[in-house]
Amino acid sequence: MAVVTFLSDYGLDDDFVGVCHGVIAQIAPQARILDVTHGIERHDVRSGALVLARALPYMPAGVHLAVVDPEVGAERRAVALRCADEERLLVGPDNGLLALAATRFGGVVEAVEIARSPLRLEPVSASFHGRDVFAPVAAHLAAGTALLAEAGEPLDPAELVQLVLPRARRSERGLVAHALHADRYGNVVLDAGHDDLAGSGLRLGRAVTVNGRRALFGTTFADVPAGELLLYEDGYRVLALAVNRGSALAQLHLRADDEILIAPVP
């Protein structure tokens, strides 16, 4: 059974997501739709890209529709992409949203521009390309439109918009990381993973400082008392900060890309 996964910043308070489901169900009645989430912060392309890339490996291979589109109606491209691995197809705006997922699946081997796709719904509105362009193209691909070429005009994958992320680095005082994304609990995902720990002096079970504030490098929230700060590897093997029964985002006054010095306590 063909699968269409769907991620967006539409939220569930309005009918945007439901209408896209309806469009897909009309075009591809046999396709199963799996919602990744529609709770991406409005217009937060980077969080969308991060969540998409970490979630898709757990979703069945298929057509992966994603819409976080602050420039809808302006000049950004709309694209459908085929990845090297597992024939995964990505459909969405060309604003970096799909970039991390594409990398995760071996890179893009075929790309088409779909803004004027013959598969879109006419007339195309100025503001709801999820319904009029992205969902119909995703549905037709799920229904078996054999080639991306039928969905739009070929595009050189090298021209796709990339996503520039900060990179954690080791310094002589410890690990210099950055806040990439926070979930609804205020847990903060950093741009550092297991590999960045080597040589950093940080050791599991030991005390650390995070921007000068005392924390434990532990494994679960229960390792620290309520209100205390925890450094841990999250469910996606990425370093993250949490406060047991609280919000690390709030306690550390963090914003996206803020530099965070994590240092071992001697």
Give φ, ψ of 226 to 5 degrees. -55, 135
The least CB distance from residue 116 to its own copies, in Å, is: 17
User: 112 or 133: whose CB is closer to its own copies?
Assistant: 133
The least CB distance from residue 141 to its own copies, in Å, is: 18
The least CB distance from residue 150 to its own copies, in Å, is: 23
Give the three-class secondary structure for 5: strand
Closest CA to 234 of 187, 199, 195: 187
Give the integer Cα–Cα distance in Å for 7 and 171: 37
The least CB distance from residue 195 to its own copies, in Å, is: 15
| CB atoms near residue 161 (< 10 Å) | 16
- Report yes or no: 53 and 18 within 8 Å, Cβ to Cβ: no
Site residues, its own copies (CB under 8 A): 1, 3, 5, 7, 11-15, 17-19, 21-23, 25-26, 29, 32, 34-39, 42-43, 51, 54-55, 58-60, 71-74, 125-128, 131-132, 183-185, 219-223, 232-237, 245
| CB atoms near residue 183 (< 10 Å) | 16
The least CB distance from residue 233 to its own copies, in Å, is: 7
- Report yes or no: 257 and 166 within 8 Å, Cβ to Cβ: yes
Spatial neighbors of 247 by CB under 8 A, at least 6 apart, are: 185, 186, 187
The least CB distance from residue 206 to its own copies, in Å, is: 16
The least CB distance from residue 121 to its own copies, in Å, is: 9
Give φ, ψ of 238 to 5 degrees. -115, 145
Q: Where are the beta strands (DSSP E) in 19-159?
A: 32-37, 63-67, 78-83, 89-93, 108-113, 153-155
User: 110 or 233: whose CB is closer to its own copies?
Assistant: 233
User: 126 or 149: whose CB is closer to its own copies?
Assistant: 126
User: 21 or 170: whose CB is closer to its own copies?
Assistant: 21
User: 22 or 107: whose CB is closer to its own copies?
Assistant: 22
- Report yes or no: 185 and 247 within 8 Å, Cβ to Cβ: yes
